[in-house]
């Protein structure tokens, strides 16, 4: 099961790590700081500093060629005062909600099947790997692989026309909201499967037997025992999926054929026009929204307590 | 429950799982087949003859931009990210086994790194480099950008590993007179080696396929995902699928080699 451990990133509270004898040894305290330093340095330089810089730049002035240090709230006023922005945010949230609902449904049943219906650990590992492998290949390739399937002359349309089910190809299969959501579900379901599978595997099987002995039927075991215990995994999966969809621009761009927009795509367009302060203001708003969503999810389910 | 008869639920869920696997692999196999499209064939079925034409096309410079160069850059970057991810995650994992000032903020900073939208990191690093006056390049700014995505995965995996790691082995080694370094090198490291290989796989593949974080940070020369993304808008021949097939097969080889290495290490450990 060593592979299992590597394939299932679990969020684990660091302070609850088993205390070793060395922690009680005096004088070795500095070792931890040295060991943690590289991580802290990299995150400071490439995560904190850039976010700080974006916040600063979002108050700068700019023209077509360059940006100028200043303190103007114009970028925020432009962004938040525009009807297009609000529509784009709503559209992104709509994608996030639809993809979340679908990945949660698919993810739960796949994880449940693997955890409770596959009887040998080896088979579990093999099937889990079968699910994992595509997620380690290029997102863009997996996205464009839908084009020959969904296109006007694609596999689905030609087969349906050939059988005689539909008279003419369906136009909305590709370059539509449907295609965007489908591709996102395809890309992100594993981020739901893995954490749920991880929590389901930790459920003490005697709890299920106890429920059976107490007279619960299969449905009651599922809704009263397994589902409540799977919540932390669902929460972690939700965080992954929601943040990935909120940040997505390539899927929206390619799969909607340029007909739909997302917040990140709006930012990307501003960046290609060199309107960095405008993009930065958008980035700050998006970041705050995403962090609030994550905080909200962490409020509903206390991951730290339940893991 | 393991010796019960299979119920209806099992068969329904088996069918559901099978459909999920088809959903995952179906489209991929479509482009795999279509990359062998005849020279006159188009982007969709049916196959208009079978040929290796588009694979040959892949290596002509005009057809797909700089495929060879971008492949080399992506591989080199992936390897750099892999090494740093493994080392830094291992060190951080060791650090978090003890309590130290700032452990919780650092942990949440790593989690935040997963949550912050990738395009924001891309924009931020791009602007920082611009303001400092450094030229962004795949080996500097994009390298850092990729680490913000691979490190949290590595760190979380190491947490999970060390949480299940019994300190009894180390205590035994120390009681037998091993120094801290000997305990680490001869006891801890061999036991966590398979997990480290897994972290390496994550580091390499996540970087090799990363796109959004590279967008503003790659500088003059494209990485492979950027090159492919550019092609989606302006290439209308099956050469796109040929490229998809080649990179996907490369990913499969990397994954298979890694899994093989994990199995090998495990087996050797069991024999020892």
Q: Is residue A4 very low, low, confident or very high in pLDDT (cuts 50, 70, 90)?
A: very low
Question: Which of A19, A26, A50 to probe by mutation at the B interface, max B CB count within 10 Å?
Answer: A50
Considering only CB atoms, A254 lies closest to which of B2, B116, B232, namely B232
Q: Is residue A13 very low, low, confident or very high in pLDDT (cuts 50, 70, 90)?
A: very low
Considering only CB atoms, B100 lies closest to which of A33, A113, A155, namely A33
> Do the chains contact at B88 and A38, CB–CB below 8 Å?
yes
Residues of B in contact with A294 (CB under 8 A): 115
Residues 67-126 of B with CB under 8 A from A: 84, 87-89, 91-92, 94-100, 102-104, 106-107, 109-121, 123-126
Domain ranges of chain A: 83-306
Task: Pick the residue from chain A with its C-alpha nearest to B25.
Answer: A134
Residues of A in contact with B87 (CB under 8 A): 38
A22-36, A121-135, A178-192, B136-150 — which is least confidently predicted? Answer: A22-36
The CATH fold of domain A83-306: MetI-like fold (1.10.3720)
Considering only CB atoms, B104 lies closest to which of A5, A14, A127, namely A14
Q: How far apart are CA A54 and CA B125, in angstroms?
A: 9
pLDDT digits (tens, 9 = 90+) for B198-225: 899 989 999 998 888 888 888 888 888 8
> Do the chains contact at B17 and A209, CB–CB below 8 Å?
no
Shortest Cα–Cα distance, B46 to chain A (Å): 9
A177-191, A248-262, B232-246 — which is least confidently predicted? Answer: B232-246
Q: How far apart are CA A253 and CA A95, in angstroms?
A: 13
Which helix (H) or strand (E) segment is B26 a member of? Answer: helix B8-34
- Beta carbons of B194 and B243 less than 8 angstroms apart: no
Would you call B219 an interface residue with chain A, using a CB distance cutoff of 8 Å? no
Residues 172-211 of B with CB under 8 A from A: 174, 180, 194-195, 197-199, 201-202, 205, 208-209, 211
pLDDT digits (tens, 9 = 90+) for B100-159: 888 888 988 998 898 999 999 999 999 999 888 888 888 889 999 999 999 999 998 898
Please check the confidence at residue A93 and state whether its pLDDT lies above 50: yes
Cα angle vertex A274, ends A271, A279, to 5°?
A: 45
Residues 35-54 of A with CB under 8 A from B: 35-36, 38-40, 42-43, 45-51, 53-54
Residues 224-253 of B with CB under 8 A from A: 225, 228-229, 232, 240-241, 244, 247-248, 251-252
Cα angle vertex A10, ends B264, B270, to 5°?
A: 25
Please check the confidence at residue B42 and state whether its pLDDT lies above 80: no
Bond before B46 cis per omega within 30 degrees: yes
- Beta carbons of B71 and B249 less than 8 angstroms apart: no
Considering only CB atoms, A290 lies closest to which of B110, B117, B244, namely B117
- Termini Cα distance of chain B: 36
pLDDT digits (tens, 9 = 90+) for B60-91: 765 556 778 888 899 999 999 999 999 999 99
pLDDT digits (tens, 9 = 90+) for A280-306: 999 999 999 999 999 898 887 766 554
pLDDT digits (tens, 9 = 90+) for A214-250: 988 888 888 888 998 898 899 989 999 999 999 999 8
Please check the confidence at residue A25 and state whether its pLDDT lies above 60: no
Residues of A in contact with B211 (CB under 8 A): 139-140, 250
- Beta carbons of B269 and B191 less than 8 angstroms apart: yes
pLDDT digits (tens, 9 = 90+) for B251-261: 889 888 988 88
Considering only CB atoms, B109 lies closest to which of A28, A43, A189, namely A43
Which helix (H) or strand (E) segment is B138 a member of? Answer: none
Q: How far apart are CA A24 and CA A15, in angstroms?
A: 15
pLDDT (0 to 100) of residue B199: 92
Alpha-carbon distances, residue B88 vs A256, B94, B161, B202 (angstroms): 39, 10, 15, 14
Residue A154, sorted as left (phi over 0), alpha (psi -120 to 50) or beta, turns out to be beta
Task: Pick the residue from chain B with its C-alpha nearest to A253.
Answer: B233
Would you call A110 an interface residue with chain B, using a CB distance cutoff of 8 Å? yes
The separation between CA B88 and the C-alpha centre of its own chain, rounded to angstroms, equals: 16
Residues 225-284 of A with CB under 8 A from B: 239-240, 243, 246-247, 249-250, 254, 264, 267-268, 271, 276, 279-280, 283
Domains and CATH numbers, chain B: 65-234 (1.10.3720.10)
Percent above pLDDT 70 for chain B? 96
Cα angle vertex A256, ends B21, B31, to 5°?
A: 40
Closest CA relative to residue A61, chosen from A80, A83, A85, A77: A77
Model ipTM value? 0.86
Please check the confidence at residue A16 and state whether its pLDDT lies above 60: no
Please check the confidence at residue A17 and state whether its pLDDT lies above 70: no
pLDDT (0 to 100) of residue A14: 45
pLDDT (0 to 100) of residue A7: 42
Task: Pick the residue from chain B with its C-alpha nearest to A285.
Answer: B120
A133-142, A182-191, B1-10, B110-119 — which is least confidently predicted? Answer: B1-10
| Mean pLDDT score of chain A | 84
């Amino acid at each position: 099961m060593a592979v299992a451990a590597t394939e299932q990133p679990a969020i684990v509270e660091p302070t609850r790590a088993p205390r070793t004898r060395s922690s009680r040894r005096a004088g070795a305290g500095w070792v931890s700081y040295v060991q943690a330093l590289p991580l802290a340095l990299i995150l400071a330089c490439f995560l904190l500093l850039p976010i700080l810089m974006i916040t600063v730049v979002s108050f700068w002035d700019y023209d077509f060629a360059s940006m100028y240090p200043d303190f103007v709230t114009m970028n925020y006023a432009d962004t938040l005062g525009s009807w297009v922005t609000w529509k784009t945010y709503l559209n992104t949230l709509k994608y996030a909600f639809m993809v979340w609902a679908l990945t949660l449904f698919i993810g739960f049943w796949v994880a449940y099947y693997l955890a409770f219906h596959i009887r040998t650990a080896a088979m579990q590992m093999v099937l889990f790997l079968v699910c994992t492998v595509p997620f380690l290949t290029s997102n863009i390739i997996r996205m464009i692989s839908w084009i020959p399937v969904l296109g006007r002359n694609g596999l689905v349309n030609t087969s349906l026309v050939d059988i005689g089910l539909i008279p003419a190809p369906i136009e909305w299969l590709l370059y539509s909201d449907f295609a965007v959501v489908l591709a996102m579900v395809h890309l992100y379901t594993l981020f739901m499967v893995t954490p749920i599978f991880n929590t389901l595997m930790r459920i003490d099987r005697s709890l299920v037997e106890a429920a059976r002995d107490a007279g619960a039927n299969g449905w009651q075991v599922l809704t009263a025992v397994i589902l409540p215990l799977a919540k932390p995994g669902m929460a972690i999966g939700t965080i992954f999926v929601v943040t990935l969809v909120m940040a997505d621009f390539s899927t929206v761009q390619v799969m909607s054929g340029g007909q739909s927009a997302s917040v990140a795509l709006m930012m990307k367009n501003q960046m290609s026009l060199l309107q960095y302060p405008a993009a930065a203001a958008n980035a700050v708003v998006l970041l705050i929204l995403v962090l609030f969503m994550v905080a909200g999810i962490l409020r509903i389910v206390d991951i730290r307590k339940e893991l | 429950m393991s010796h019960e008869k299979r119920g209806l639920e099992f068969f329904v869920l088996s069918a559901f799982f099978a459909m999920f696997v088809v959903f995952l692999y179906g489209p991929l196999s479509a482009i795999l087949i279509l990359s062998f499209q005849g020279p006159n064939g188009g982007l969709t079925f049916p196959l208009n003859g079978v040929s290796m034409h588009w694979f040959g096309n892949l290596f002509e410079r005009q057809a797909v931009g700089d495929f060879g160069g971008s492949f080399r850059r992506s591989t080199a970057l992936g390897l750099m990210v892999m090494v740093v991810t493994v080392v830094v995650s291992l060190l951080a994992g060791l650090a978090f086994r003890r309590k130290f000032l700032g452990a919780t903020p650092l942990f949440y900073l790593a989690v935040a790194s997963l949550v912050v939208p990738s395009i924001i990191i891309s924009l931020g690093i791009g602007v920082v480099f611009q303001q400092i006056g450094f030229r962004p390049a795949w080996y500097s700014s994009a390298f850092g950008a990729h680490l913000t995505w691979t490190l949290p995965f590595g760190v979380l995996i190491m947490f999970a590993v060390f949480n299940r790691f019994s300190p009894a082995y180390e205590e035994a080694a120390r009681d037998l007179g091993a120094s801290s370094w000997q305990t680490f090198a001869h006891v801890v490291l061999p036991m966590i080696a398979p997990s480290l290989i897994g972290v390496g796989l994550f580091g390499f593949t996540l970087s090799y396929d990363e796109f959004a974080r590279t967008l503003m940070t790659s500088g003059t020369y494209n990485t492979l995902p950027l090159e492919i993304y550019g092609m989606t808008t302006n290439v209308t021949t099956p050469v796109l699928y040929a490229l998809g097939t080649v990179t996907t097969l490369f990913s499969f080889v990397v994954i298979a080699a890694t899994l093989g290495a994990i199995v090998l290490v495990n087996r050797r450990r069991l024999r020892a």
